[in-house]
Amino acid sequence: MFRDTPDGLRTLRRKDGERVLDAAPSKRVRSVIAGTNYDGSYSFPVPLAGISWVDFDFRGTGSQLSAVFAGLFLGGNLSAQRGPKLRTSVETFLSALPTTDRIYSGNRELEDQQFRSFEQSAGGVVNWQASAGWTLSASSHVALLVYQRTGKTSEDYRVPGTALIARAWGEAKYTRKSFAFSGLVEPSVRALGVSPYGFDGEHMPSRLTLKYQAEVKRHVYTGKVARGGVSASYYGGTGLDRLSRYRSSFLMKPRILGIPNGVDAFDAIGLASAYYGFNVFEIVKLAAYYDHAWARNTDESTRFRQFDGLDLDIGTAGPWGTYVQASLNIALRGNTGRYASRWGGMIMFFKPMGR
């Protein structure tokens, strides 16, 4: 059985008839995972099943390996401490879960112009602890995107060509007690796949794009069983188009509560968030998250639209020695007429394996 702690999932052991945190945790944390995710961009729940693996001393080298395989995607990271202030890592993300790219006239989808895409990526990251509060990071990644027509795409509509994209980013983070600030700049180059798409080849992907973002956070702790916090962030860029705009995603930033994956795309986003969570009897963890976003897509309008979303989470001990995490989210305001459902949710079961 697991318990969710500030240091991540920790193993619970039985002692004197009670379950307590393992005083000598294993260097490996392995678990079988199973569950499902649903949001308003799909007409069906997405099944997830596989294994999660964390090894804090990979092959006795002192490196840390973390990996998760959930059937439709595989993510992994291998990091090593190179000195008192320097850490390097390599990471990869492979997915068989497509994103359907949609465009709209008002709330009416232009179905004959939709297509789906699959993205696979790999790269490396370098982190330098410049001081007690400052961390500087740099990364270089390569992404392969494959585009396909759907059953609704017009035969006369040419989908984008397979793309190879080189991305780099630099990030600065500052933390002091419960306050945190981060700023990131990400230039990208489309090395392959710069070919016309559309009905008459009227669209051309941007070869060069630049994204940037900034975020401030403040956490508030009220004793050992409750904490909350607020954050504000901004996402912007230059050269963004249909293929490179920001999209809300449950797998990576930005995630805007209530917006289904692949439905809305934005050139700029301002996001304000708040959360509050507490533990019940140190077994059940409850949390609520709220987002308010100002976002725009310049192909649709030059003005910013407002979006509101709410997410309710629970983590607790489940049957047969499992740990259960579940969430329920709802779109309160936004382009709700475009969504298959304003409701979404996820439930995951974690079953610990032997040491």
For residues 172-192, give the mean pLDDT.
95
Q: Is 8 exposed, middle or buried (0-12, 13-18, 19+ CB in 10 A)?
A: exposed
At 26, is the pLDDT very low, low, confident or very high (cuts 50, 70, 90)?
Answer: low
Cis amide prior to 84 (ω within 30 degrees): no
Beta strands in 102-254 (DSSP E): 104-105, 108-109, 115-129, 134-149, 163-176, 179-192, 208-221, 226-238
For residues 183-195, give the mean pLDDT.
95
State pLDDT tens for residues 197-206: 999 989 999 9
For residues 194-198, give the mean pLDDT.
94
Residue with tokens 């500087």: 136
Tokens of 318: 């489940």
At 13, is the pLDDT very low, low, confident or very high (cuts 50, 70, 90)?
Answer: low
State pLDDT tens for residues 82-133: 989 999 999 999 998 888 899 998 889 999 999 999 999 999 999 999 999 9
pLDDT value of position 320: 83
CA distance 247 to 19: 42
State pLDDT tens for residues 278-322: 988 778 999 999 999 999 999 998 999 999 999 999 999 888 888
- Asked if 36 contacts 49 with a C-beta cutoff of 8 angstroms, the reply is no
User: What is the helix (H) or strand (E) element at residue 43, kind and residue range?
Assistant: none
Answer yes or no: is pLDDT of 245 > 90: yes
CA dihedral 49, 54, 59, 63 (to 10 degrees): 140
**DSSP letters along 62-121, please?**
TEEEEEEE-SSEEEEEEEEE-SSSEEEEEEEEEE---EEE--EETTEE-GGG-EEEEEEE
Strand order in the sheet with 2-5: 2-5, 8-15, 18-21
Q: Are strands 343-352 and 115-129 parallel, antiparallel or unpaired?
A: unpaired
Taking only Cα atoms into account, the Rg of the chain, rounded to an integer number of angstroms, comes to 21
Residue with tokens 């293929």: 243
State pLDDT tens for residues 90-102: 999 999 888 889 9
Torsions phi, psi for 152 (to 5 deg): -105, -10
Q: In the chain, what are the domains?
A: 22-352 (2.40.160.50)
At 231, is the pLDDT very low, low, confident or very high (cuts 50, 70, 90)?
Answer: very high
pLDDT value of position 10: 55
pLDDT value of position 156: 95
CA distance 355 to 353: 7
CA dihedral 101, 37, 293, 278 (to 10 degrees): -170
pTM strictly above 0.85? yes
